Chains A and B, each alone.
Chain A
Amino acid sequence: MSPYVVVAAVVVVGLLLFVAAMGARRLLAPSAPTRAKLTTYESGVDPVGQGWAQTQVRYFVYAFLYVIFAVDAVYLFPWALVVRSSDLGAASLVEIGVFIGVLLVGLVHAARRGLLRWV
């Protein structure tokens, strides 16, 4: 039996936990909504404008860097399985070294551009 069957069961159990907890809340918690209670919280003053707003582009750079490097990093895991083999070990070390080295150029590039600095 695959361990992933258990994983799937755990996902189901987790969702059941959420549903059951919400059921318990429905039974036990009061519900008395008022207009003021349902307004957006802005430290006590009436909300100004909409909650959805454009945000800084900066965050986008980090997300992009992560995507690139995550794609890079997932190849390290298969590498872990072959690095001890006599025929592929040393060769794969060089291969992965080149692979990461090329991407490191990108990180250095980003750092030199000043994109990793906040201010």
Chain B
Amino acid sequence: MSEPTKPQPANPASSNARPARRSSGGAVPGILKGLATTARTLARPTHTAEYPDVSPHLPPRSRGVIALLEENCTSCMLCARECPDWCIYIDSHKETIPATTPGGRDRQRNVLDRFAIDFSLCMYCGICIEVCPFDALHWSPEFEYSELDIRDLLHEKDRLGQWMPTVPPPPALDEHAAEPAEVAAVNKPPRTARTPTARPARPTRVTPAPEGEA
């Protein structure tokens, strides 16, 4: 019996499964191990979540849908411009508020006419929520808003506002966390007379503050 396939080790497809088998401790132990693993799983409780009957236990920061707190929105358009797939639509007009004091200046403010998110386009990246300077957008864990028609996934501001009550409160700060910059600034000890010891420490204490604000 001549061996035409001499360079066998170079050909992984034609080489036998033997080396792999040896590493798993032989064929028979491997076979038994497979049976034992499945039998053990059979004896254990299952992992299935029976979803429509039993509501799922969602982790605290789950991204279900984006909720809008309309009062906070200034129609600044930052979210719409940062959105990677342009799924946020904002219409607004300016409104003049007459001066409250005689001789005062009239003020203008933006009034939000329309705020809509097309969830058929949204990819749940959360950039809009990150960039909103006024905390008008929030992650809500609500996820059951499927529609029969894809066009019905364009949700207007009243619908977005309805999800606001489902937004969980922000998690408490870690007790070992650094103080927020504003608080740190207020609590900063008042300037005292220059002391030789305090001097080298000051620059290092000042620099973290702008970082915290950024």
Query: Could you tell me which A residues sit within 8 Å of B by CB distance?
Result: 112-114, 119
B5 interface hit (Cβ, 8 Å):
yes
> B1, B5, B13, B14: which contacts A113 (Cβ < 8 A)?
B1
Task: Please report the C-alpha to C-alpha distance between residue A74 and residue B148 in the assembled complex, in whole angstroms.
Answer: 63
Closest to B15 in A: A119
On whether the beta carbons of B1 and A112 are closer than 8 Å, the reply is yes
- In whole angstroms, what is the CA distance A114 to B2 when docked? 9
| B5 contact set on A, CB distance < 8 A | 119
Taking CB as reference atom, which chain A residue is nearest B8?
Answer: A119
User: Across the interface, which residues of A come within 8 angstroms of B13, CB to CB?
Assistant: 119
Question: By the criterion of a CB under 8 Å from any partner CB, how many residues of chain B are at the interface?
Answer: 4
Of the listed residues A113, A114, A119, the one surrounded by the most CB atoms of chain B closer than 10 A to its CB is A119
Inter-chain contacts of A114 with B (CB < 8 A): 1
Nearest-Cβ distance from residue A88 to partner chain B, whole angstroms: 40
- Identity of the chain B residue whose Cβ is nearest the Cβ of A111 in the assembled complex: B1
Q: Is the CB of A119 within 8 A of B14?
A: yes
A40 to chain B, nearest CB (A): 28
Q: How far is the CA of A119 from the CA of B13 in the complex (A)?
A: 9
Give the residue name and chain of the A residue nearest to B14 (CB): A119
Most buried by A among B1, B5, B13, B14: B1
Residue of A nearest to B3 (CB): A114
| In the bound complex, CA of A119 to CA of B4 (Å) | 10
A119 to B1, CA, bound (A): 14
Report the bound CA distance from A51 to B5 in whole Å. Answer: 31
Which chain B residues numbered 1 to 41 have a C-beta less than 8 Å away from chain A? 1, 5, 13-14
Contact partners of B1 in chain A: CB under 8 A? 112-114
6 contacts between A and B (CB under 8 A): A112-B1, A113-B1, A114-B1, A119-B5, A119-B13, A119-B14
* Docked pose: A112 CA to B3 CA in angstroms: 12
Interface mask (B28-60 → A, CB under 8 Å = 1, otherwise 0)? 000000000000000000000000000000000
Instruction: Across the A-B interface, give the 6 residue pairs with the lowest CB-CB distance, nearest first.
Output: A119-B14, A114-B1, A112-B1, A113-B1, A119-B5, A119-B13
Q: In whole angstroms, how far apart are the Cα atoms of A57 and B107 in the complex?
A: 90
Determine the distance from Cα of A113 to Cα of B13 in the docked complex, in whole angstroms: 21
A9 to B72 Cα, complex, angstroms: 82
A113 to B1, CA, bound (A): 6
Complex alpha-carbon distance, A39 and B90, angstroms: 49
State in angstroms the CA–CA spacing of A5 and B1 once bound together.
53
Residue of B with least CB distance to A114: B1
Among residues of A, the one whose C-beta sits closest to the C-beta of B2 is A114
Closest-CB distance, B4 to chain A (whole angstroms): 10
Assembled-state Cα–Cα distance A112/B14 (Å): 19
B6 CB to closest chain A CB (Å) equals: 13
- Separation of A113 and B3 alpha carbons in the complex (Å): 11
